[in-house]
Amino acid sequence: MDARLATHEPVMLETVLRFWFRGDDGVYVDATYGRGGHSRALLERLGPEGRLYLVDRDPDAVAHARSRFAGDERVVVAAGPFSRLGELAAHWSVVGRVRGVLLDLGVSSPQLEDARRGFSFTREGPLDMRMDPEHGSSLATWLAGVDERRLVDVLERYGEERHARPIARAVLEARRRGCLSTTRELATVVAGAVPRSGLRRHPATRTFQALRIVVNGELDELEAVLPQAARVLELSGRLLVLSFHSLEDRIVKHFFRSPRRGEATREGLLPLASLAPEPEERRRNPRARSARLRVAEKLRETDACPGA
C-alpha cells in the first residue's frame, strides 16, 4: 500500500482537543503532523481567520498534509525537525502569538507499517529507521561504525535494556560475519542473545526503541523544542505533549515542573494537567497503552534568553 494513504489513529483525541482548541480563530501549531488525526479535528472547529501550522520531518507526512489541505487557506505546511520551531515561527511571524502547540511524539502507524522504512522487527526491511530518510545517517551506517561500549550504553540508556551487553556482543558478532542487513536479521540476533522469558513483548522491542531514538536524536529534539514552544506561545497559550515512554515523559515532566506550587517555570509555564488514556482506548488502540499527555499554560513571558 502507498504509505501516504495509510492511517494513524490519533491518541486521546477528545482530551487533546479539549486542551488544545480554545474556541475561536487563534493560531495553532501541530509540530508532529503524522497523518493529521489531531489536526483534522481542530480544523473542523477552527474559524476562517484561524491558522494551523503543520510540521513533520517525514517527507511522506508532509506530502500527505500538502495534498490533504491544498486550498485550505488556514493551513501552512513545513518540512523539517521540530527543533527548528522557533525559526519557523519567526518566519511565519507568529512568535508570542500561538494559542496552542501540540507535540505527539514518536513514530506514526504508517512509518511502522511500511517495511521499507525499517522501523519494525516484524517486517523484513532495510536497517534504516530515519523519520526523514533524506537526511542524517541510517541505522545501517550507525551500526557499521559503533563499538561495543557505545552500543551497550545506547541500549541501556534509551532502551532501559537489562541484557544490553549480550545483545551488543551478538549484534557486533553478526556484523563481523556479514549477517546484519535487515530488520528481521537484527531481531533474530537480539532474540537469540537474551534469555527466554514469559514476557508478551518481543525480545527486540527495547533494542528497536533504543536504536530508533539514537538514529533520530529523539531526546535531543525534545529537549530542544520545549523552550522554543514555550517562547512561541501567547499568554495563556498551551503546550501539549503526548509521550509514549518514560524517557520522553521524564524530560517533559522536568521541563513543566514549577519551582513552587502555583508558580510558573523559568519559561513562564504553569503545569495544568497530566493525563493517561481511558481503559477503553487502551484496550482498543495498542499505541495508546503507554501514552501520557502533559499540558502546561503560559502564565508570563519567559526568563530564558532567546536560543537558550
Residue 68 binding ligand SAM, by CB under 6 A: no
How deeply is 147 buried, as exposed, middle or buried, from its count of CB atoms within 10 A (0-12, 13-18, 19+)? exposed
Q: Which is nearer to ligand SAM, 156 or 223 (CB)?
A: 223
17, 38, 215, 271: which one contacts ligand SAM (CB under 6 A)? 38
Stretch that binds ligand SAM, among 21-29, 56-64, 228-236, 263-271 (CB under 6 A): 56-64
Nearest C-alpha neighbor of 13 from the set 298, 296, 285: 285
For residue 29 the three cell numbers come to 501549531
**Is residue 251 a contact partner of residue 257, using CB atoms and an 8 Å limit?**
no
Residue 8 binding ligand SAM, by CB under 6 A: yes
For residue 106 the three cell numbers come to 514518536
Binding to ligand SAM, residues 194-213 (CB under 6 A): none
114, 128, 161, 221: which one contacts ligand SAM (CB under 6 A)? 221
Residue 50 binding ligand SAM, by CB under 6 A: no
CA distance 99 to 96: 9
Instruction: Give bridge partners of residue 27 from the DSSP assignment.
Output: 51, 98
Question: x/- binding map, residues 106-135, to ligand SAM, per CB under 6 A?
Answer: xxx----------------------x----
Side chain identity, residue 178: G
Residue 104 binding ligand SAM, by CB under 6 A: yes
10, 118, 125, 159: which one contacts ligand SAM (CB under 6 A)? 10
Stretch that binds ligand SAM, among 54-62, 156-164, 176-184, 268-276 (CB under 6 A): 54-62
DSSP of 255-269, one letter per residue? HT--SSTT---TTSE
